[in-house]
Amino acid sequence: MKRYLTLLVFFLINIVNSNATTCESTTVGDWTDNTIWDCGTVPSADNCVDTIIIGVNTNLDAQFNLTGCPPIVLIVNDTLFFVTGNKLYLPTGSQVIVHIGGYLVSGGGGGNSNLLKIGDDTFWNTGAGTFVGTSILDIELVAFYATQRETSVELNWTTASEVNNDFFTIERSRDGINFDGIGDKNGAANSSSEIYYSFLDSNVYSSLIYYRLKQTDFDGSITTSQPIKISFIDDVNFKIFPNPAVEFFNIQGKVKGNVNIYTSTGILIQTIENYVGGLIPVKHFERGNYLVTFEGNGKDKSVKLVLK
């Protein structure tokens, strides 16, 4: 029998709001009721937050369009019930994490009546039925992301545990629907410690590419991850992720040059010369706000980094 664990997929998000806030529903009730939120007000287009947590049964009792806000992480730990006809629109770059014990439930009214969208992409609607929070891989996947490397894309993923895992197949798609395998990576069979994997896709054919992992057990059972996507860019599009960061951050973009990290008071504390990609450790820095600058490709870019 498979062991299903929480799947946390980290999409490429650029969150640069130093006043990041979290709102969690702590009392059963309606989304529009200020008193159910621990932040004291309703998450909405007029009250943008970086993280919304459904901690207890919450009724989405009105239509909310949050596309004018910065990217949002929606974490569902209990039931998010869409009252008939109501919809939730999240900004492009947002992510939705439905943990074990979490559900997206329709109030009825047809496939497009209840809807959860991220930008132009539909994450869930009534026609898909109740969305049940569960891992769809027989592993504990704690990271899966894509990074542009000059004219190729590097895929990285990390597992915290594996059970009967024979190998991974990396799959690619133009439209997020029809996927083809582009390579395999051997699994660790059984493991209870973190294992890091990477794969380089050097045959990039589109400006927007979707990737997913197909995991095969030794008994031939196959399960598949949710897809992630990357916008392949031809010039510097300087983004750092994760942001806020805890132990490390990475840079997305066609970058080749020097990276400088400054304190909030403008003191240079680290320089990474000839950076072309990879993780930059920051766990030894004090928590707070920093400025990361990139000097290369004939351009200078700066982004605020928050360490938590």
**What would you report as the CA-atom Rg of the chain, rounded to the nearest whole angstrom?**
20
Predicted pLDDT at 299: 55
Among the residue ranges 15-24, 199-208, 252-261, the one predicted with the least confidence is 15-24
166 and 264 housed in the same domain: no
Q: What is the CATH number of the domain that holds 223?
A: 2.60.40
Highest mean pLDDT among 84-93, 135-144, 215-224, 291-300: 84-93
Kindly state the average pLDDT of the residues 193-199: 90
Is the model's pLDDT at 49 over the cut of 90? yes
Q: Which residue has the higher pLDDT, 100 or 194?
A: 194
- 43 pLDDT exceeds 60? yes
Mean pLDDT score, 51-70: 93
Which one has a higher pLDDT value, 77 or 68?
Answer: 68
Question: What is the span of the domain harbouring residue 83?
Answer: 22-132
For residue 241, the one-letter residue type is F
Q: Is residue 296 part of a domain?
A: yes
Q: Are residues 255 and 209 in the same domain?
A: no
Specify the higher pLDDT residue, 58 or 253.
58
With a cut of 80, say whether residue 260 has pLDDT above it: yes
Residue 12 inside a domain? The answer is no
Say whether both 210 and 259 belong to one domain.
Answer: no
Q: Of residues 223 and 8, which shows the higher confidence score? A: 223
- Do 192 and 212 lie in one domain? The reply is yes
DSSP 181-210: EEEEEEEEEEESS-EEEEEEE-----SEEE
**pLDDT tens, residue by residue, 146-165:** 887 767 889 999 888 887 88
| CA–CA separation, 184 and 74 (whole Å) | 31
Are 224 and 244 found together in one domain?
no
* C-alpha 105, offset from chain centre: 22
Q: Domain total for the chain? A: 3
The pLDDT of residue 9 is above 70 = no
How confident is residue 221, by pLDDT bands cut at 50, 70 and 90?
confident
In a domain, 201, yes or no: yes
Q: Give the mean model confidence (pLDDT) for residues 72-94.
A: 90
| Model confidence band, residue 36 (pLDDT cutoffs 50, 70, 90) | very high
What pLDDT, on the 0 to 100 scale, is given for residue 8? 34
Mean pLDDT lowest among 114-123, 125-134, 211-220: 125-134
Mean pLDDT of 76-82: 90
| Mean pLDDT of the region 138-144 | 77
- Mean pLDDT for all residues in the chain: 81
Q: Would 13 be classed as within a structural domain?
A: no
Is residue 20 within 8 Å of residue 308, measured between CB atoms? no
On whether both 48 and 84 belong to a single domain, the answer is yes
Q: Quick check: 295 and 260 in contact, CB under 8 A? A: yes
Mark which of 168, 196, 231 sits at the end of a domain. Answer: 231
The identity of residue 38, as a single letter, is D
Q: 130: which DSSP letter? A: P
Residue 199 pLDDT exceeds 90: yes
Same domain, 30 and 60: yes
